[in-house]
Amino acid sequence: MVTEKIFDKLPSGEEVRCFHLENGSGAFAEVLQYGALLTKLCVPDREGRLTDVVLGYDTAEGYLTNGCFFGAVIGRSGNRIEGGRFVLDGKEVVLAKNEGENNLHSGPDGFEKKMWKAERISQEKNSVTFSRISPDGENGFPGEFSVSVTYEFTEDNAVRIIYEGVSDKTTVANMTNHSYFNLAGEGSGNVLDQYLTIRAQSYTPVREDSIPLGENVPVEGTPMDFRVEKTIGQDIGADFQQLKYTGGFDHNYVTDGCDGAEVREIARARSEKTGIEMTVLTDCPCVQFYAGNFVENEKGKNGHVYGKRDGFCLETQVEPNAVNVPGFHSPVLNKGERYHSETVYRFSIK
């Protein structure tokens, strides 16, 4: 069942509405029209207690700043673009440099800082669809991009996120969700003892500024290998240059079966404390695993203060800086072409 309420007001006085998606068991997700953000995700633990497994804020003020991108829909293009520049249709596109010399998540004011329209509510599917028109030249990106994000919360405790859009000029589209998960519950401390599997034979090594070197290399024999389940903390402090560059895991993985463009399982995580297990499915070729290395003193929900590694992200995508690397999966969306991407975060008890 979908219900709505007022979450808060922006400094302008404009109301931010919250949409509550609850299934028959009482588990629920809550999403905001501001930023199309996922602000709550409450699923049962092994004792049947509802546990909120995503980090976030209680007020609009938190999301106005949101330097960590809690719950954020990222667009038009997730992750980093070298020098904030790329060439499209023979013309150079220039973006803002909001992380050193590079562009991160299409900022400084990406889709997560925009007010979306709640375009469609479906009681049958237990879903809400947000939409907006991203104007030609917004944040530097070419083309008027008519875009939507649908959140559906299913009877088997899965959040299904569908991104769709079309542009009147060739542009870049590589959207993702930047939720931070803690399967022991938000505010419960760090996630280093939580288990993770990533179905990927290779990852994307980076320079010191987190821009890819331009190749994907095998995970085998490195601390980057999550093909067999291990805790997030097991190798995070390993004497390995890639982990030193990024302060821990913050890397792209090229997932198995990525050439079929089908929704398939790419990752799985679980907490022994709560028994909550999360399965990630997507039609995207890659996923960015970020272990929350740079979260520090963030005043979050319920009076909790989030610190380093108190949540982890699994952001489905193409490789970072792919628009500038011919050998990577292309994020280019041709004029008039339909953009479609789907990611599912499904919860169960292990």
**pLDDT reading at 259 higher than 80:** no
pLDDT digits (tens, 9 = 90+) for 66-77: 999 999 999 999
* The two three-digit tokens of residue 44, written as one number: 């049962």
267 contacts 196 by C-beta, under 8 angstroms: yes
Q: Given this model, what pLDDT does residue 252 score?
A: 98
Nearest Cα neighbor of 254 from 329, 178, 341 is 329
Q: Residue 324, SS3?
A: helix
Considering the entire predicted model, what is its pTM? 0.98
- Tell me what percent of the residues of the chain surpass a pLDDT of 90: 98
pLDDT digits (tens, 9 = 90+) for 156-184: 999 999 999 999 999 999 999 999 999 99
| Range 155-190 burial, b when 16+ CB lie within 10 A, else e | eebbbbbbbbbbbebbbbbbbbbbbbbbbbbbbbeb
**pLDDT reading at 145 higher than 90:** yes
**pLDDT reading at 249 higher than 80:** yes
**pLDDT reading at 261 higher than 80:** no
pLDDT digits (tens, 9 = 90+) for 195-245: 999 999 999 999 999 999 999 999 999 999 999 999 999 999 999 999 999
pLDDT digits (tens, 9 = 90+) for 267-300: 999 999 999 999 999 999 999 999 999 999 999 9
DSSP for 5-52, please give it. Answer: EEEEE-TTS-EEEEEEEE-TTS-EEEEESBTT-EEEEEEE-TTS-EEE
**pLDDT reading at 134 higher than 90:** yes
Kindly list the catalytic residues: 178, 315
Q: Given this model, what pLDDT does residue 19 score?
A: 98
Span 322-337, average pLDDT: 97
Span 11-26, average pLDDT: 97
